[in-house]
Amino acid sequence: MATQGATLRSKQELIEKMSKPEVITGSEILLRSLVLEGVECVFGYPGGAVLYIYDAMHGFDDFHHILTRHEQGAIHAADGYARASGNVGVCIATSGPGATNLVTGIATAYMDSVPLVVITGNVVQSAIGTDAFQEADIVGITMPITKHSYLVRNVDDLPRIIHEAFHIANTGRKGPVLIDIPKDVSAAKTLFKPATGEVSMRGYNPTVAPKKQQVDKMLKAIEEAERPVILAGGGVVYSGAHEELLEFATKTGIPVVTTLLGLGGFPSGNDLWVGMPGMHGAYTSNKAIQGSDLLINIGARFDDRVTMKLDGFAPNAKIVHIDIDPAEIGKNVPTDIPIVGDVKTVLEVANAEAKPAAKAAAWREQLTALKAEFPLTYVDSNTELKPQWVIEMLHETTNGDAIVTTDVGQHQMWAAQYYKFNKPRSFVTSGGLGTMGFGFPSAIGAQMANPDRVVVSINGDGGMQMCAQELAICAINNIPVKVAIINNQVLGMVRQWQEIIYDNRYSHIDLAGSPDFVKLAEAYGVKGFRASNKEEAREAWEAALRHPGPAVVEFVVRKGENVYPMVTQGNTIDDMILGDAE
């Protein structure tokens, strides 16, 4: 209790210290305001337009700043921090190329509804529009991929803008907010008056509580349904509604499928969990959606990789769509019962009166039998290392309790299929944008947010080379991320498409000339291991887990392995290629 009391006192003392009214610079206002918003870690890269801000950081130790080796690494790390913690991720970059290097990361966060506050520097206001050195209209460039943007014109507005930015980023449908600060604003002095309390903004009032009559319509539809299915998406995770979803599914007895970003939002060990649907979804998941007479979408946006051919998606189902963003409802799939509101709040309302889907017992038995008959499977080998086996081994050795981040490609799908997630915020991946280079730096952010958990970064040999330089900050800061490189010496997902869809016309996919990843890791001061068979793989991975710092394990796997099931474009999700084990 004494330690807790000391912690509470230190937090209160910090707040009092940061809130002290003083004449200070815009840069000092920024730093103080970030602390008052609860920021504990910032990822960034300095440059001319943010030098006043970095000068103010000299000796400032009230949050941790991680100097990445590329701005894209900074924003992906901030993204991973946000996804793994539920807090707002923060990154800082300079003007011009520093700001434009953030664009891919901003788009990644925007597509996946991740709360970020992105701070950029700009040239002095008198030079804006003159094509000054390192000038770029980052507000204009990112307008389609930010939830909101600010160009700060007056230093007195900074406290309010920062307070608003955090509110906007982390409420409603979450997303990135940009704050662009000209150099003269960061240098200007004024009396600091911290912005506190509730934020009220005209035109921004996200609907949290649903209309009760809409929830009642859904509950009535459940009573009448014989083949109901719940489609749970990232909104379940982002709203912290995993317990409410479990209660709702348990009370109603409705089977659950989870999207890529919804993995972990419902425990995979639960008997009601059917799997992940879509292009590389499980056989039973896709068949469940296609055979349903009631599809309850909870916090998913009917992404095209889930629906595939829209004409023919869930053809016999009444559609319920629960989403905090009304723009998503009916956008892709016609909706019969729209429910606008925060997923957690909607499910709380529904759970108060939810009853079993009385007519669905036979449906549950049918899906259970189907899941047993058509499990995810692959042809194992005792001579070659199979990537699916590697993922299963990672799950086994971490007891399924790790935070797993991935890059994008075949390894991403294998991780989604063969690592079983039972906790929310345990799977961090780029879903909507599919950003290569995301996996490793996002793991750094996830580890900073969760220093006491094992964080595993699963990468392909292609994506790993896009942000491999961030190994330096793992070594310098002793960030104990465990990196698993699934090395098939090729751009695997592109190769798979070229094999199946483009009649084996392989074009520019050979990654020959990639570095020796063990030597690369060691060059940065990180422990490196390599494995090309099961015995080596288990031994190397367990050594990496025992190692107290960061470690890289290169798994040399079969080059021609494909991800199955697979639905090719133009087909409905029940038209699946089951693959080698078919």
Task: Tell me how far apart the alpha carbons of residues 278 and 285 are, in angstroms, rounded to a whole number.
Answer: 8
**Token pair for residue 258?**
């989870």
Does the bond joining 176 to the residue before it have cis omega, within 30 degrees of 0? no
How many Å apart are CA 72 and CA 410, to the nearest integer?
Answer: 22
Dmax of the chain from CA atoms?
72
- Tell me the Ramachandran region of residue 531: left when phi exceeds 0, alpha when psi lies from -120 to 50, beta otherwise: beta
User: Cα separation of 294 and 317, whole Å?
Assistant: 5
Among residues 184, 186, 204, 173, which one has the least CA distance to residue 56?
186
* Spatial CB neighbours of 206, under 8 Å, sequence gap ≥ 6: 171, 172, 173, 324, 342
Measured distance CA(576)–CA(1) in Å, rounded: 58
Write the CB contacts of 481 (distance below 8 Å, at least 6 apart in sequence).
440, 443, 444, 447, 455, 456, 457, 474, 550
Strand partners, 256: 230, 273
Catalytic residues: 71, 133-134, 183, 493
Helix/strand/coil percentages in the chain, nearest 5: 40, 15, 40
Distance of alpha carbon 153 from alpha carbon 131, whole angstroms = 18
CA-CA distance, 534 to 556, in Å (whole number)? 10
Handedness of CA 413, 473, 487, 389 (dihedral sign): negative
Nearest to 558 by CA among 543, 577, 537: 537
Q: Are 299 and 323 in contact (CB under 8 A)?
A: yes
Name the strands in the sheet holding 148-151, side by side, starting at the edge strand that comes first in the sequence: 64-67, 41-44, 89-93, 116-122, 176-182, 148-151
CA dist 67 to 56, 93, 110, 471, Å? Answer: 15, 11, 23, 12
Cross-strand partners of 484:
458, 553
DSSP 200-259: -BTTB----SPPHHHHHHHHHHHHH-SSEEEEE-HHHHHTT-HHHHHHHHHHHT--EEE-
For residues 317 and 295, give the distance between their C-alpha atoms in angstroms, rounded to a whole number: 6
